[in-house]
Structure 1
Amino acid sequence: MAEAHQARVQKTIEDMVQSLERDHIRKMQGLMFKCSAECCERPTYSMTQVHSCIERCHTPLAQAQGLVTNELEKFQDRLTRCTMHCNDKARDQFDSGAKEPAVRATMENCVGSCVEDHMNLIPSMTHRLKENLDAIPQ
């Protein structure tokens, strides 16, 4: 993928992840630490009970992080498949005798189209992630 396209996608995804972290994940982290501290403050709990309690406190955050990671992996896989298709198209064009400038232009246009298509998916992906994060019981 051309560097400018890659930088654009990366910046948008980073902004999305920072927004999710600030508005959702950070709150969950705070609740997890408070919950974990409360587990440690229970004098009647055995070491095993404290450990189990802390694990329960960590579950929502782990679910949230897994959710975000899974969604980003799917997004990256789709974008990679699209750019691989562009690469195949360019290779086929080159193999059929096209000159390098024409092949480069085809590749650039195709990758640009992939990026645009995937950039348009980010708002709905963000909305879906926010809804799913909000649905995780605390």
Structure 2
Amino acid sequence: MPLKHMLLYREMAEEQQTRLQNAVDSMVKNLERENIRKMQGRMFRCSAQCCENEGASIQQVHHCIERCHAPLAQAQSLVTSELERFQNRLARCTMHCNDKAKDSFDSGLKEAQVKSQLESCVIKCAEEHMSLIPSLTRKLKDALAEVDKKTQ
């Protein structure tokens, strides 16, 4: 199957991909606003207290600031790894669609049928992943709350 056909899913299911991207963006903004931002405030206040300790050495202040930054770094890493896992699953799903389309094309199915099959498969991938967002959101909120609980 020519390369242009293998990349068709990007054009065909654009609306579903946009909806999915908007849903993921909305989830991330919500997590940032409701969870991460509070942790950032605590991190900066904690870091400021480290700097106000006039009796501490440079190394002690540095160590104190690092301790203040650790929970936020852990939270950001957690969100990043979950989003990467989500994107990898979506990529595997669409790759599967491409493979099925290529196999269908190679077995002699007409191009219009292959396009239709590919579009249907990619739309299904997007819909399946859209349905995962609420549970992913809950999982991340719970994990962030757990990280946050350790810092209070």
Task: State whether TM-score is above 0.5.
Answer: yes
Name which of 128, 135, 138 aligns with 2:139. Answer: 128
The AA in structure 1 aligned to 2:82 is E
Structure 2 Cα separation of the partners of residues 4 and 56 of structure 1: 44
Q: Which has the higher contact order (CA 8 A, sep 6+)?
A: 2
Work out whether residues 94 and 125 of structure 2, in 8 Å CA contact, stay in contact via their aligned partners in 1. yes
Paired position in structure 2 for 1:32: 43
Paired position in structure 2 for 1:85: 96
Structure 2 Cα separation of the partners of residues 113 and 59 of structure 1: 39
Structure 1 Cα separation of the partners of residues 85 and 36 of structure 2: 20
- CA apart distance, 1:3: 2.0
Paired position in structure 2 for 1:59: 70
Paired residue total: 138
Paired position in structure 1 for 2:118: 107
Structure 1 Cα separation of the partners of residues 102 and 16 of structure 2: 20
Paired position in structure 2 for 1:73: 84
Work out whether residues 16 and 127 of structure 2, in 8 Å CA contact, stay in contact via their aligned partners in 1. no
* CA distances 1:50-104 after superposition (whole Å, capped 9, x unpaired): 0000000000000000000000000000000000000000000000111111110
Name which of 33, 39, 43 aligns with 1:22. Answer: 33
The AA in structure 2 aligned to 1:57 is C
- CA apart distance, 1:105: 0.4
CA RMSD of aligned residues (A): 0.7
Which consecutive residues of structure 2, in runs of 5 or more, have no partner in the other structure? 1-9
TM-score scaled by length of structure 1: 0.98
Name which of 6, 12, 16 aligns with 1:5. Answer: 16
* CA distances 1:14-45 after superposition (whole Å, capped 9, x unpaired): 00000000000000000000000000000000
